[in-house]
Chains A and B, each alone.
Chain A
Amino acid sequence: MDGTETLSKELQEIDGVITKHRGKHGELLGILEETQLLNEAQFLSEEALNHVALRTGVPLSRVYNVVTFYSFFNLKPQGKHKITVCRGTACHTKGSKALLEDIGLILGCGKALEDGEAFYTTPDNEYTISTVACFGQCALAPVVAIDGVIHSNVTTATLQKLLKKFSKRRITS
């Protein structure tokens, strides 16, 4: 970057974020968090990370270290809807593994979710499916969060109903 080329709108916005956080405690984390929120698909593009490294002087490998450590950061575009299945002990005993499998069947991505722990976005970018270790809502197990709303005592039937609401495509029951 020789400084003469005009920066894209996204990179200009990132510059603003970097200026805001400069010198503050936990500078890099703050910058990365806001940079991700700026992005429509809720992820950190390589271009954005390059820019953050260039402007802050933090080594690229260090930036990569941070964004891969925290599960909050995404390196791939996220789906329009976010489904989070709790895989904590209480939810597990109440059958959360089966719920994850159900989601795989309903959305046709069973193979990708096979190992019981997941972070997957459907190819049409409609859904991102992820797991967490515990929501802290064990009394309501099993719980599934969809777009930030936590649903309790979820069964296959309720899952189907919930997902149907969002989906443009036909969901087989």
Chain B
Amino acid sequence: MDSKMVSVRINGSEYSVPSGATILDACKRAGISVPTLCFLQDVAKNASCGVCLVEVKGAKSLVRSCTACVRDGIEIITNSARIRDARKTNVELLLANHPKECLSCVRNQNCELQEIAAELGVMHDRFVQTKKKMEWDTTSLSLVRDPNKCILCGRCIAVCGTVQTVHAISLSNRGIKTRVSTYMEKGLGNVACTNCGQCALVCPTAAIVERDDTDEVFEELLNPDKVVVVQTAPAIRVGIGEAMGMAPGSLVTGQMVAGLRRLGFKKVFDTQFTADLTIVEEAHELVQRLTNKGALPMITSCSPGWTKFAEHFFPDALAHLSTCKSPQQMFGALAKTYYAAKLNIDPRKMVVVSVMPCTAKKYEARRPEMMSAFEHWKEKRAWSADDAFYDVDYVLTTRELSRMFKESGIQFASLPAEEFDHPLGESTGAAVIFGATGGVMEAALRTAYEVVTGKTLTDINFVALRGMDGIKEAEVDLNGKKLKVAVAHTLGNARKLMEQIERGESPYAFIEVMTCPGGCLGGGGQPIPTTWEIRKKRAESLYAEDLGKTIRKSHENPQIIALYKESLKTPLGDLSHHPLHTSYQKRGLFVWKTNGHRKKEPVSTK
């Protein structure tokens, strides 16, 4: 922004603001609130809704403050009868075509359209509906679109195109027929969509939401024949409190465990256990690639939006992806092999539910290759294809879990803190920070350093890898060998590093990529709203939890050590290969031609 200051007059008072600022910015700096709807800081300013209107002296019509810039001597009025009337009319026009189903809507009481209508005092349903009813898009395993609820603010398109550079959706047609579409109306499940769910996170209404699996999970919990276990991702403990009405970033690990027990889960485990396992495998994989001259840089693979992005947009660079499964999938595979055997449970009767900050995890759990527990047992027990099951049965987002808590009448804030179950609930500080951008890299370095050098790492805080910069770099000294590493969050930043690799100019040995802004703590399944301030608070809580743990290196997790001793023997060994490692497929852009990943049709959400 231009550092030159200009003088502006807002509602009769003089203020000095930077010359490139928008009127909305200027009002914010002056502490004057201007209502907005389609505007989203750093993501979208399409000036489509007409809610942020202000009067500018000398201008013929009202001005949209989100895009109009200040100039020296400008006189702005933010409140007048004319402004109130125009803002209200614009919202009334949006409401004309918006379904009046608020009471039975998943975003009820968490809807920006609802809020703005209340804030502006809309009391009448003045205009008749002019749009025809449109079909839902239920093609995706992660997301459901209801175009009838769309107010064409353009945020989803901006976040998908500009932030993630995926461009799965765009506006189509014009005039009254304008809508948000995928290519040729094929639906999200049939185009190059990464399922990241950032569109759902920024949608002001319920036009894009996560596929709801709460009914299915409730049903499984009631089934006496099933052993239902749950795993929770690191980012849930800093998100679920917020979804239950607590302050953003509230760290509620113990209450979350207690709440899940009260929902009826037999065992409450931690995805952080397999996050530690991922680190051990991945650190060894890195060392192996360094010594055997494997494909470098190696890139992390725990973010399923990112791996699908690579499959679509960089199909010739898949050798760079670590073969490690994500912690969610490692957990599912181990729960239905190692743990099931240990407790003598029929894995067919075991139900693994994940709670994830992520919509892409719903898709990941249904990838056909994610049935390694079934593959493991089928020969031993002579099972047929009819017995087939996925490693992870259901994936719930933070938002879905909060709905289950509320529906069950759980008073979340007053729950006592409880501990995770053993053995799959044990984790280290290294696993906690998986939830923040840079965390996986930091955790991996803590382990890789000790694997390579055989020395104890004393300063384990890699501060350069923390924070919200889009691409972060660091250099580590492994026995005199300098390794450059990089961390990227958002697929737009990942694309930059991938293009560097394609040009043969990548200076890095190891790259961490997280699909969502801020890492998993800013995932597409997290509470709405998720802003940069909120992301920072969630990150602070994760790093605080790491600091509070006595064991902060993954390879020192006693249960991980026991797991290798009892079952897997050695990292990257023959026994760990099948449950813990995976492969990728070249998908390209024309997905509908090669789409063959759906085993069972997704059920309708209503």
**Minimal Cβ-Cβ distance residue in B for A62:** B170
**Minimal Cβ-Cβ distance residue in B for A71:** B174
Please name all residues of chain A whose beta carbon is closer than 8 Å to the beta carbon of B183 when the two chains form the complex. 60-61, 63-64
Please name all residues of chain A whose beta carbon is closer than 8 Å to the beta carbon of B192 when the two chains form the complex. 60
Size band of the interface chain A makes with B: 10 to 19
Please name all residues of chain A whose beta carbon is closer than 8 Å to the beta carbon of B181 when the two chains form the complex. 61, 64-65, 68
Please name all residues of chain B whose beta carbon is closer than 8 Å to the beta carbon of A65 when the two chains form the complex. 170-172, 181
Is A54 close to B, CB under 8 A?
yes
Please name all residues of chain B whose beta carbon is closer than 8 Å to the beta carbon of A75 when the two chains form the complex. 184
Is A39 close to B, CB under 8 A?
no
CB pair A62–B173 under 8 Å, yes or no, is no
Is B17 close to A, CB under 8 A?
no
A66→B161 CA distance, assembly (Å) = 15
Please name all residues of chain B whose beta carbon is closer than 8 Å to the beta carbon of A69 when the two chains form the complex. 172-174
Q: How many residues of B contact A (CB 8 A)?
A: 17
Report A114-132 CB contacts with B as 1/0, cut-off 8 Å.
0000000000000000000
CB pair B168–A61 under 8 Å, yes or no, is yes
Please name all residues of chain A whose beta carbon is closer than 8 Å to the beta carbon of B168 when the two chains form the complex. 61
Is B127 close to A, CB under 8 A?
no
Please name all residues of chain A whose beta carbon is closer than 8 Å to the beta carbon of B167 when the two chains form the complex. 59-62
From 60 to 107 in chain A, residues with beta carbon under 8 angstroms from any chain B beta carbon are 60-65, 68-69, 75
A49→B184 CA distance, assembly (Å) = 10
Report B172-195 CB contacts with A as 1/0, cut-off 8 Å.
111000000111100000011000
CB pair A53–B589 under 8 Å, yes or no, is yes
A53→B172 CA distance, assembly (Å) = 16
Give B176 Cβ to nearest chain A Cβ, in Å: 10
**Minimal Cβ-Cβ distance residue in A for B160:** A61
Is A27 close to B, CB under 8 A?
no
**Minimal Cβ-Cβ distance residue in A for B166:** A59
Specify which of B161, B170, B181 lies most central, judged by the most chain A CB atoms within 10 Å of its CB: B170
A62→B169 CA distance, assembly (Å) = 8
Is B532 close to A, CB under 8 A?
no
CB pair A68–B172 under 8 Å, yes or no, is yes
Which residues does A use to contact B, with CB under 8 Å? 46, 49-50, 53-54, 59-65, 68-69, 75
Q: Which 5 A-B pairs have the closest CB atoms?
A: A59-B167, A61-B170, A60-B183, A65-B170, A68-B172
Q: 24 pairs across A/B with beta carbons < 8 Å?
A: A46-B184, A50-B590, A53-B589, A54-B589, A59-B167, A59-B170, A60-B167, A60-B191, A60-B589, A61-B167, A61-B169, A61-B181, A61-B183, A62-B170, A63-B183, A64-B170, A64-B172, A65-B181, A68-B172, A68-B173, A68-B174, A69-B172, A69-B173, A75-B184
